[in-house]
């Protein structure tokens, strides 16, 4: 099983500042990685797929980068609605054996 | 606009079978363009993939759940379903149904990310 480790577990950032979240895979997943945002009481929302492609309707301040085992989600100039939990997800295996990271909670500083 | 809606009992007794359905509106599940799947989230914890189904009936499951999980589809109702047998308290979770785009690589239809989610259904396992 591919293990995804997200860091930090909690990130405190002020509105208007930049946030950088990390996801590390235990083995290469090429660019087969997605990022999701989850707010309390809501379903996750797809933000990024194929490591760096923004999903439909996702603001340009969200950016993904990386390949292989190291990935980053960057949120530039944080808005109040961006404070949430973020998960990475790898879908590299065939047959499928998808896994998620444990999440990074982005909180207001 | 695509919508997914989970339905089923919110309380299941230990050792019994958890059954959920996902009704899809705004699109057909009988398509070779998407897989359909299930993801769960125990209270206060992270996300876990359960499995996927393709329109031809092929299914793929998380190895840790494979012996207890069945995903099926009813194209006449535009629904797909999840059954988990022999449940314990560890199966208490919010269960989400999802749509899964695919990519073609050689002759394989490879499932990818989860682009649409249902609102989730909380299932509690308790006597």
pLDDT tens column, A51-98: 999 999 999 999 999 999 999 999 999 999 999 999 999 999 999 999
pLDDT greater than 90 at residue B107: no
Tell me: the pLDDT tens digits for A6-42? 999 999 999 999 999 999 999 999 999 999 999 999 9
pLDDT band, very low/low/confident/very high, at B44 (cuts 50, 70, 90):
very high
Mutate to test the interface with A, among B46, B53, B120 (most CBs of A within 10 A): B46
CA A57 vs. chain centroid, Å, equals 16
Closest CA to A19 of A70, A48, A62, A65: A62
- Residues B111, B100: Cα–Cα separation, whole Å: 6
Distance CA B61, CA A12 (A): 36
Share of chain B above pLDDT 90, in %: 97
Q: Which residues of B touch A87 (CB under 8 A)?
A: 46-47
The answer, for B114 touching chain A at a CB cutoff of 8 Å, is yes
Residues from chain B that touch A55, judged by Cβ atoms under 8 A, are: 115
């Amino acid at each position: 099983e591919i293990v995804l480790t997200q860091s930090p577990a909690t990130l405190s950032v002020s509105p208007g500042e930049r946030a950088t979240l990390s996801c590390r895979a235990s083995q290469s997943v090429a660019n087969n990685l997605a990022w999701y945002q989850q707010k309390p009481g809501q379903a996750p929302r797809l933000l990024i797929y194929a490591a760096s492609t923004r999903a439909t309707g996702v603001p340009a301040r969200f950016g993904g980068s990386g390949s292989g085992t190291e990935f980053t989600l960057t949120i530039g100039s944080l808005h109040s609605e961006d404070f949430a939990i973020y998960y990475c997800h790898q879908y590299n295996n065939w047959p499928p054996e998808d896994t998620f990271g444990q999440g990074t909670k982005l909180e207001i500083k | 606009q695509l919508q997914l809606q989970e339905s089923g009992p919110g309380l299941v007794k230990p050792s019994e079978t958890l059954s959920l359905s996902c009704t899809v509106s705004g699109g057909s599940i009988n398509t070779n363009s998407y897989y359909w799947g299930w993801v769960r989230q125990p209270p206060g914890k992270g996300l876990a993939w359960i499995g996927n189904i393709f329109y031809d009936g092929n299914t793929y499951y998380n190895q840790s759940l494979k012996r207890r999980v069945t995903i099926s589809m009813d194209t006449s109702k535009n629904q797909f379903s999840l059954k988990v047998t022999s449940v314990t308290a560890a199966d208490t979770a919010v269960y989400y149904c999802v749509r899964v785009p695919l990519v073609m690589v050689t002759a394989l239809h490879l499932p990818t990310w989860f682009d649409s989610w249902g609102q989730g259904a909380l299932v509690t396992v308790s006597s």
